[in-house]
Every structure is written in structure tokens, then in C-alpha cells.
Amino acid sequence: MLGIGKCLDHLMALHGVLGASIIDYASGSTLGAAGRGPASHQESYSAGVTTMMHTTMKAAALATVGNPAHVEQIVITAGNGFHLLHPLAGGTQTRMMLYVWLDRGIGNLAVTQRRVNSIAAQFSVN
């Protein structure tokens, strides 16, 4: 059984991860943060990440390709690294996401994505 702190520890243990946090994107609150980035500029980061999430979800809602109602993960490739936004699936109560900041030089995006998936799956029992 993972608690929030353990969950963040697992994310931070992934190779090349610079920072990780759990964000409630409905209210924009950071529920837990570790590493660089979100921890030091928590407010502006989680606000930015939350906006990103809302924008993508809105765009997805109006898109016609595939099954846009379900966004599993958002990856932003930026100059300062990869940013992974992973909404946590689970009942109606869930509106939280994992956010991972990955170094572009050291980190392996595909491996990190799979690990983040499995950590997210352990977050909720349903």
C-alpha cells in the first residue's frame, strides 16, 4: 500500500527524474511534491500544470479522433526536459494527477512512462 510520500519516492527513484508531484487539478492544489521544480516554485508550477491539463482536456473533448474523452497521459517535450502529466483514473472522485519532470539527456521517456503508469495504477484500488 503506497502512501503519498512513498508514491513520490518511487517516482523520484526513476532514472533522470528531476521532480515529481501529486496535484489536485480541480482546485490547483499540490497534495505532495518532491525533488526540484514543483517543490521550490510549487505555486507557479502547479498552476501552470493545472492550466495545461484543463487546456488539453478541453481540446480533447472537442476532438474527433480516437477516444478523446479518455486522456491517459500528456507529455510535453520542452527545452528543459519532458513533462509528464498523468491523470489518475478511478471512480468519480478522482481529479488528481501525477506530474513528473524528466531530464531530457539522462531520462528514458518510454521507460518512465511505463513506470509512471504502474505507480498510478497502485494509487487507487479500483
In degrees and rounded to multiples of 5, residue 8 shows phi and psi of: -65, -40
| 92 makes contact with other proteins (CB under 8 A) | yes
Residue number with CB closer to other proteins (45 or 82): 45
Residue number with CB closer to other proteins (29 or 117): 29
Neighbours of 124 (CB within 10 A): 13
| 70 makes contact with other proteins (CB under 8 A) | no
- Dihedral, CA of residue 125, residue 55, residue 100 and residue 73, to nearest 10: 50
| 26 makes contact with other proteins (CB under 8 A) | yes
Q: Where are the beta strands (DSSP E) in the chain?
A: 17-24, 29-35, 74-78, 81-87, 96-102
Residue number with CB closer to other proteins (4 or 109): 4
Name the site residues for other proteins (rule: CB under 8 A): 1-4, 6-7, 22, 24, 26-29, 31-32, 43, 47, 54, 57-58, 61-62, 90-93, 95-96, 122-125
